Structure 1
Amino acid sequence: MATNKGYTTVSDPDISAKALAKDQPISPKFAREVAGMIRGMKVEKAVTMLEEVIEMDRAVPLKRYKKRVSHKKGIGPGRYPVKASKAILATVRSAMSNAEYKGLDVSNMAISTISIARGQTIPGHMPRAQGRATQWNQETANIEVIIEEVE
């Protein structure tokens, strides 16, 4: 019996490629917002948008948990999640590389599935006064990208 190694199932493996990044040290909240921004886009346009976010030229619109977040030009409440964008960009480029290895035309592909899941929480603490300590845990996220050729 074959396993899918944690991936979402693919409708047609002959025209798709996938990549998975586990336990990336990024905020799952911001990773979810970045993924929502590029979901369904052509791969080349998504890479360009992620590079613009990394250079802080384009803000990512926040859909959830956006109270007291300042509005950015043309999109409403938004931020510049650089770490999450870098991790997602690396995963998208990995999927593109996997597609090239399979002999697919990357310029004619779109992101069909991109999902973010919470990864392991790495426990930590921050020393405080009087010999006390406060929990200071590191959140991680799992990123999954599946790209398919567009008709």
Structure 2
Amino acid sequence: MSVQERRAVSARRESLLGDEPGAFAVARFVRVTPMKARRVVDLVRGMGVDDALATLKFAPQAAAATVYKVVDSAAANAEGTEHLSRTDLVVVKAFVDEGPTLKRHRPRAQGRATRIDKRTSHITVVVGPRVEEEAAPAADAGKGKKAAEKKGRTR
């Protein structure tokens, strides 16, 4: 897909990826609080897709099942539309936005009622190809032993 065709596809894709190759998936109106979903999303941000799916499969949080589906869908979108290899994909961005809140009431003592907020989330996952960094060893060449030891290298 050329850059011109990609720009014509959607403004949402443009805001998430720009001209970079990759794909995204969104789950909207998920009945889990954003705070709980963010805990799960923070686990997989920056990981490879296969590692992220393995982590989510065994995560004890209830939101992990939904995030698993969204990551899997984003990877499938990248394979289908961008023709990228699943093994090279990385979770580039992952974030949770707050959706509408369902407001319910619970009866309490002496004729009173309290409000129960049932929160919803919009979960967005963006995947892209792995980027290799090559310039790091050349920058350390003139700094000496102490800079190399700080980076975790031994003599």
TM-score normalised over the length of structure 1:
0.73
AA at the equivalent of 1:145: V
TM-superposed CA distance for 1:92, in Å, is: 0.7
Find 1:91's aligned residue among 55, 70, 73: 70
In the alignment of these two chains, the number of paired residues is 123
Trace 1:48-63 onto structure 2 (pairs within 5 A): 48-53=54-59, 56=60
Partner-residue secondary structure (3-state), 1:9: helix
RCO (CA 8 Å, sep 6+): is it higher in 1 or 2?
1
Structure 2 CA distance, aligned partners of 1:19 and 1:87?
Answer: 12
Which residue of the partner structure matches residue 16 of structure 2? 9
Please state how far the C-alpha of 1:110 moved relative to its aligned partner: 0.2
Q: CA deviation at 1:52?
A: 0.9
Higher helix residue share? 2
Partner of 1:23: 29
Structure 2 segments unaligned to the other structure (5+ residues): 1-6, 132-155
What CA distance in whole angstroms lies between the structure 2 residues aligned with 1:7 and 1:140? 25
Contact 1:7 1:20 in 2 (8 A): no
Equivalent residues in 2 for 1:1-150 (5 A)?
3-5=10-12, 8-13=15-20, 15-53=21-59, 56=60, 81-82=61-62, 84-102=63-81, 103-150=83-130
Letter in 2 for 1:86: A
TM-score w.r.t. structure 2 length? 0.71
What are structure 1's unaligned runs of at least 5 residues?
Answer: 57-80
- Superposition CA RMSD, Å: 2.1
Distance 1:12 1:110 in 2: 17
From the superposition, tell whether residues 7 and 92 of structure 1 become closer, same or farther in structure 2 (CA, over 3 Å): farther
Alpha-carbon distance, 1:39 to partner: 0.6
Counterparts of 2:108 and 2:17 in 1: how far apart (Å)?
49
Separation of aligned partners in 2, 1:91 and 1:7: 19
